[in-house]
A and B are shown apart, each in its own frame.
Chain A
Amino acid sequence: MPSHTLDDTVQNGESYLDVKGRYTGVFGWIFSVDHKRIGLLYLGSVFVFFTVGILLGLFMRLEQMTMGETLMTATTYNRLFTLHGVIMIFLFIIPGTAGTLGNFFLPIQIGAKDVFFPRLNLLSWWLYIAGAVMALLAIFTGDGMADTGWTFYVPYSTQTGTNVTLALTAAFILGFSSILTGLNFVATIHRMRAPGMNFHRMPLFVWSLYATAWIQVLATPVVGITLVLVILERTLGIGIFNPAMGGDPILYQHLFWIYSHPAVYLMVLPGMGVISEIIPTFCRRTIFGYKAIAWSSVGIAAVGTLVWGHHMYVSGQSSTASIVFSFLTFFVAIPTAIKVFNWVATMYKASIRVEVPFLYALAFLFHFLIGGLTGLMMAAISVDVHVHDTYFVVGHFHYTMFGGSVFALFGALYYWGPKMWGRMYHNKTAIVALVLQLIGFNTLYMTMMYLGYQGMPRRYFDHLPQFHDAHLVATFGSWFLVSGLLLMIGTLLYSVFRGEKAPANPWGGTTLEWQIPTPPPLENFDEIPTITDEPYAHKEEAV
C-alpha cells in the first residue's frame, strides 16, 4: 500500500508556473531560486545547445558523404567535431539529465521544498550560461574555435593557433557549474529527506543522482586543474606537459581521463535512474531488486574511478598499466549487468501499459546493451589496439551516450513532461518520431561500428575509397534520425503550449511527485509527508 498518498493533505496551492515573485517575465525565471524553474531553465538552454550540436553532427555527416573537400575545409571540419563534442558533453548531456530532471524532481521525490542551497543552485545555472557563452565566443574570437577534439590532447592543443584557451576556460567554468550542482545534491539528499525516508526508501532516480553527485564533486576538479595547466602553458609557457621541458604528454591523458572516464557515468547514471522510475510505473508493480539497483549505482561510480586507462592502451603508457586497467574495466560491467537484469525481471508478472515513456525505456535498453557490450570489446586490450580511435569507438559512444543517456532523457520528458508543464503530448506523433529515430539511429551508428572495424579512423576529414559506401549509408541513416528528432522536438513544444491538460498522476506512479498537484505548487508540499514504505509500492490488483 502506498502509505504516503497525500491526496487528502494537498490543498490547491498555486502552481510554480503562475506564482508571481519579486520579478516578472524573463527575470522571474532567470533570477528565480525555485528548483523547478531552474530545472526548466536548464531544459531550455540545454535544448538550444543540443540543437546546435546535432546540426553540427549533421554537417559532419554531409561532409563524409563525398570524398575530398566538398562542403567545408579540413580546418572547419576539425572545429566542427570539436565543437560538437564539447557541446554534446559539457553543454548538453552532463547538465542535461542532472541539471534538468535532477533539479526539478530530486527535491520533490525526497519530499523537500527545495534543494539545500537554492541560491547556489541559481549560481550553477549562471555559471553554466557563462561557460556556454564563452564556448560560443571562442568560435568568433581569436583564430576561431579550437580544432583539437573534445579531449584537448597536448602537445597539439598547446601548439595550435586556434582559440583553445577560451574553449578550455569555458570547459573549466562548466566544470565548476557541475561541481556546485553535485555539492548541492549531496547536501540535499543528506539533509532534506522527508521524515521516514531513509536511504533505502529513496526513489532510485535519487540514488542515481547521489552517485552522480559524488562523481561530480570528486572527479571534476582534477580535470579543472588539468585544463588550467594547458592554459598556463599556452599563455605563460609553463610547460608541465611539454616534452621539450621534461614534461610528459601522457600524464595529461591520465589526468584528463581520471575525470573524463567517470564523466561517462555522470552522463548515464541519471539516465539509468530515469529508467528505474519508468519501468515499475508502467509495469504497475514494485521494482525487482531495489537494493541491488540502488547500490549498483554507487558501485558503478566507485569502480568507474578505477578504469580511466582503457582510453590509453596504445598511448605509450606501460604495458602493466594497460593490463591493470583492462582487468579493472571489466568490473564496471557487473553492476551495470545487475541493473539490466533487475529491470527485465521487473517486467515479470507485471501488468504492463505500453506508453511512449515505456517505449523509450525499451529503446534505451536496446541501445545501451549494444553500447555497453561494444564497450566490453574495447575493454579487451588486443581488440582495442585495433579499434582505438576508429569509428568503432564513435559508434560505441553514440550508442551509450545518445542511444542510452539521451534516449532516457527523451523518455523522461514524455514521462515527467506532464508534471513539469502540466500538459500531455500527442501520442501518435510521439510514436512515429520514435520509430524514425530508431531506424535512423541504428542505421547511422551500426554502420559506424562496421566502418571502425574495417579501420576507418575517427576525426578524419576525408576517407579512403574503401570506406565510401558505408559512409553513404550512415549519412542516409542520419536523415531519418533528423526527421525523428525534429518531429519529437515539435511534439514536445506543442505539448508544452497546446497539449491537453494533464491529470496529477497520469501514469499511476507511486513516488511523491505524482502525489502533488500538476504543475506542482511553489513549495511542492503543503505539509512535508511522512514516509512509511518503499517508493514503488503498487497494489497487487490492477485498477
Chain B
Amino acid sequence: MSNHAATMVAHKHPSDVEGAKIGMWLFLFTEVLLFGGLFIAYAVYRSVYPEAFQTAAANLDTFIGAVNTLFLLTSSLTVVIAIVALQKDKQKMAVWMIWATVLFALGFMVNKYFEWSAKIHHGIYPGSPELLADHSKGEIVFYNLYYTMTGLHGLHVIIGLIVFFFVLYFIKRRPVVTEEMPYEILKNVRGTSRLAVVSEKGEELGTVAQLDDKVELVDIRLTYEPVAEKRDPRNFVKLENAGLYWHLVDVIWIFLFPLFYLIT
C-alpha cells in the first residue's frame, strides 16, 4: 500500500440520486426522440395518404393489438410493484414481480411474432412483390412504417428483457461494496485492529492499526452475506432505472397502438 492508493478507486462523488436520475431521464429523452423521428415520418405520411392509411390499418388485427397493450400495461404495473416491494424490503415479492414482468414481455413478443409471421405469410413485408403489386403507395408506406416502428419497439422490448435479467442477477447476488474511505474516517479507525489490510491480490498485509501515517486513502471492499429481506440500495436504483426504461417502452406502445391499429 502506498499513498497512491487513491487512484485505485474511481473518483466517486457522494452518491447523488438526483444527478443519476437526471442522467437517466436525459437518456430517455434520446429514446423518445429516436422514435420521434419516426413519429414525424408517420405524421407526414399520414397527412399525405389519409385514405390509404385507413385501409391498411383496417387490415391489422385490433384484437392482438389490444391484448398486447394490456400485456405491456400490466407489465408496467408489475414493475412498479416490484419497485415498491423492494422499497419495503420485500425482496422475494420484488423478484416475483420482475418475473411476472418478464413473462408479460415475452407474451408480447410471442404475440408480435404471430402477428408478423401472419402478415409475412400473406406476402406483406417491406419490398415484397405482393405489396408492391397489389397495394397503393400509401399502403406500402404504411407497412414500411409499421414494420420499422414496431420492429424498433420490439427491439426495445428485448433490450428491456435483458436489462431485467441483469437486475434479477444483481438482486440475488452477494453484494460487494467498494467504497472510498475518507481521511477523517481513516484517522478514526487507525487504532483498530479489527480491520485487515489486503493487497490487490488478496493476501493479508496486516491490520489497519499497522498502517503508517502516510496513507491517506484506502480502498475498502465490504463483502457481506445477503440477509434474505435486506436490499442493497444500489439494486434499488438499478431496478428503478430499468423500470423507467420499461415504462418508456410502454408509453411508446400506447401511441403506436392507436396509430397503427385503430385509425381505420
Direct contact of A and B (CB under 8 A): yes
Residues of A bordering B, CB below 8 Å: 19-22, 33-34, 112-114, 116-120, 179, 182-184, 186-187, 190-192, 217-226, 229, 232, 236-240, 245-248, 251, 254-255, 258, 522-523
- When C-beta atoms are compared, the residue in chain B nearest to A117 turns out to be B23
Contacts of A218 on B, CB cut-off 8 Å? 29, 33
| Closest-CB distance, B48 to chain A (whole angstroms) | 7
Could you tell me if A191 and B18 are in contact, using CB atoms closer than 8 angstroms?
Answer: yes
**B19–A187 touching, CB < 8 Å:** yes
Closest CB in chain A relative to B116 CB, distance in Å: 14
A33 to B34, CA, bound (A): 28
Please, which residue of chain B has its CB at the minimum distance from the CB of A216?
B30
Contact with A along B125-141 (1 / 0, CB 8 A): 01100001000111111
Select which of A20, A179, A222 is within 8 A of B36 by beta carbon.
A222
Set A118, A217, A239: member contacting B29, Cβ < 8 A: A217
Shortest CB distance A11–B (Å): 11
- How many Å lie between the Cα of A72 and that of B155 in the bound state? 44
Tell me the complex Cα distance, A182–B136, Å. 43
Q: Which residue of B lies closest to A524 (CB)?
A: B11
**By the criterion CB–CB under 8 Å, are A183 and B19 in contact?**
no
Please name the residue on chain A nearest to B136 by beta carbon: A246
- For B36, the chain A residues whose CB sits under 8 A away are 221-222, 225
17 pairs of residues in contact across A and B, judged by CB atoms under 8 Å: A21-B7, A113-B13, A183-B27, A191-B22, A225-B33, A225-B36, A229-B37, A238-B147, A239-B127, A239-B144, A240-B41, A245-B144, A246-B45, A246-B136, A246-B138, A248-B45, A251-B41
The 10 tightest CB contacts between A and B, nearest first, are A246-B137, A237-B127, A191-B19, A225-B37, A221-B33, A238-B126, A21-B7, A246-B141, A221-B34, A183-B26
Summarize A's interface: helix, strand, loop or mixed: helix
Which A residues are CB-close (under 8 A) to B20?
Answer: 187
Which residues of B in the span 1-51 have a Cβ within 8 Å of any Cβ on A?
4, 6-8, 10-11, 13, 16, 18-20, 22-23, 26-27, 29-38, 40-41, 44-45, 48-49
When distances are taken between beta carbons in the complex, the residues of chain B under 8 Å from A258 are 37, 40
Q: Is the beta-carbon distance between A116 and B34 smaller than 8 angstroms?
A: no
Residue contact A246 to B49, C-beta cutoff 8 Å: yes
Contact among B11, B48, B49, B126 with A239 in the assembled complex (CB-CB below 8 Å): B126
Chain A residues, Cβ within 8 Å of B126: 236-239
Q: Does B178 contact A (CB under 8 A)?
A: no
- B141 adjacent to A247 (CB under 8 Å): yes
Least Cβ–Cβ distance between A286 and chain B, in angstroms = 31
Decide if B16 touches A191 in the complex (CB within 8 Å): yes
Contact flag A192-B13 (CB < 8 Å), given A19-B4, A179-B30, A183-B23: yes
Q: How far is the CB of B66 from chain A (nearest CB, A)?
A: 26
How many angstroms between the C-alpha atoms of A418 and B138 in the bound complex?
61
Instruction: Please indicate the chain B residues that have their CB under 8 angstroms from the CB of A247 in the complex.
Output: 141, 144
B30 CB contacts on chain A under 8 angstroms: 179, 183, 217, 220-221
Complexed CA–CA distance, A184 and B132 (Å): 46
Contacts of A523 in B (CB 8 A): 6, 11
Chain B residue contacts of A22, Cβ below 8 A: 7-8
Is B8 touching A21 in the complex (CB atoms < 8 A)?
yes
Q: For this complex, into which size category does the number of interface residues on chain B fall? A: 35 or more
* Nearest A residue (CB) for B131: A245
- Chain B contact residues: over half helix, strand or loop, or mixed? helix
**Contacting residue for A222 out of B4, B37, B49, CB 8 A:** B37
B11 near A246 (CB under 8 angstroms)? no
The A-B contact count (CB < 8 A) is 131
Please, which residue of chain B has its CB at the minimum distance from the CB of A184?
A: B23
Does B141 lie within 8 Å of A245, measured CB to CB? Answer: yes
Q: A114-B13, A183-B30 are in contact. List 18 more A-B contacts (CB 8 A).
A: A21-B7, A21-B8, A22-B7, A22-B8, A33-B11, A112-B13, A116-B13, A118-B11, A191-B18, A218-B33, A220-B30, A221-B31, A225-B36, A229-B37, A238-B144, A240-B145, A246-B49, A251-B44
B59 contacts A by Cβ under 8 Å: no
Return B251 CB to nearest CB of chain A, in Å. 16
Which residues from B are CB-within-8-Å of A190?
Answer: 19, 22
Residue on A with the closest CB to B147? A238
The reply to whether A245 and B132 contact each other, CB–CB distance below 8 Å, is: yes
Q: Give B221 Cβ to nearest chain A Cβ, in Å.
A: 15
- Closest chain-B Cβ to A84's Cβ sits at a distance in Å of 27
Output the least CB separation between B17 and chain A (Å): 10
State whether the Cβ of B148 lies closer than 8 Å to any Cβ in chain A. Answer: yes
CA distance A226 to B40 in the complex (A): 11
Q: Which of B8, B37, B48 contacts A248 (CB 8 A)?
A: B48
In the complex, A117→B21 CA distance in Å? 12
Bound together, the chains give a CA A522 to CA B217 distance in angstroms of: 14
- In the complex, residue of chain B having the shortest beta-carbon distance to the beta carbon of A22: B8
Contact, CB under 8 Å: B34 / A246 = no
B residues in contact with A229, CB < 8 Å: 37, 41, 148
A186 to B237, CA, bound (A): 20
